[in-house]
Structure formats: C-alpha cells, structure tokens
Amino acid sequence: MEKIRVLFNEKELSKREDELAKELYKVYGDEPVIFVITLKGATLFACDLMKKYPGDARLEFIRVSSYSGDSSTGIVNLKLPLNEDRIKGQNVVIIEDIVDTGNTLKYLREYVNSLGAKSVRECTLLDKKARRTVEIEPTYSGFVIDDLFVIGYGLDYDEKYRNLPYIGVVEKD
C-alpha cells in the first residue's frame, strides 16, 4: 500500500493563495487581466486563486503536455491552443501548477507573446528550482520545493490523485 506524506495542507495553500492574489491585484488594479489556466494540473489552484482575486479577471484555457508518467520528455506539445483574439493586447497571467525543467513555462511564455499579449507574467503554485535545465523564472511562485515528485490538488501521477485537497508525496514502502 502506498502512503502519502502531506507537503502543503489546505490551510497552507489557502494562505499562500491569499498572498498571491493580493500581489497580482497590486500589479493590475482595476485593469482587466486574462488568467490563462494550463490544463489539467493548474485547475484547482487557479479556481481557488481566482476566487480570492478582487479585480477584473477573465479566463482562458490552454493545454500542453511534456510529461509521461513521472518524467519530462522535454518536448512540449500544444494540445489545446488559445484563441488569438482573446489574447491580443491583453494583460496575461499564465497559471501553472509546477515548474520543473522550465521547458513548458518557456514554451507558454513565448506562445502567449507570439499572440500579441500586452504583458505576460506567470504564476506557479510550485517551483522545483533545482531541476531547471532552461533559463527561466516564473514571475510569482507559491512555494519552492525540493526535487520530489508531488501529487494532489490538480497534480497527477498517470491521471491519479488530482482530487486530493492537499499537495503530497507518494511514499513507497
């Protein structure tokens, strides 16, 4: 039987999201901002963050994939593109679940820029800084974590565990 060790519980996630929402609002104030949510991993984080954001936030979805099981292939595939008309001239915040090698974030930043966004920032819940192979830093990150494979709160291992309300690590015995 696998055991799950909790890394961040619901209270800790919620507290950090309050802070991130405030930081973002300080940047945009009453200007509209498009939250581009990366499916599927960032959905739970993005929902909770958006509910805490007091400004004019709009919503678009994108889906890319680079992971197979618990390892990154390094090649980013665009599975669900954005609608250019919704991005052109807009302030965009890309909402990510986790930054690992940085390949996905780099791809997303370049892609959103190529659609003519007015500004692009990124907000990731988790950042595995030590694993970076590409030179890129998200504008905002919830927590920097060690090189661990984490699950829960949107993050999966082969589609499992996304519905856990906390971030955890699977401990195999």
Chain contacts with ligand IMP (rule: CB under 6 A): 41, 66-67, 72, 96-105, 149-151, 155
Q: Distance (Å, rounded) from C-alpha 155 to C-alpha 110? A: 24
The catalytically annotated residue of 48, 97, 100, 127 is 100
59: left (phi over 0), alpha (psi -120 to 50) or beta: beta
100 is catalytic: yes
CB of 107 to ligand IMP, least distance (A): 8
What Å distances lie between residue 148 and 29, 37, 58, 91, 137, CA to CA?
36, 23, 32, 32, 19
Q: Which is nearer to ligand IMP, 53 or 107 (CB)?
A: 107
Q: Assign 40 to helix, strand or coil.
A: coil
Q: Which is nearer to ligand IMP, 53 or 67 (CB)?
A: 67
CB of 129 to ligand IMP, least distance (A): 11
Q: What angle do CA 133, 135, 140 make, to 5 degrees?
A: 110
CB of 98 to ligand IMP, least distance (A): 5
**Active site residue ranges:** 100
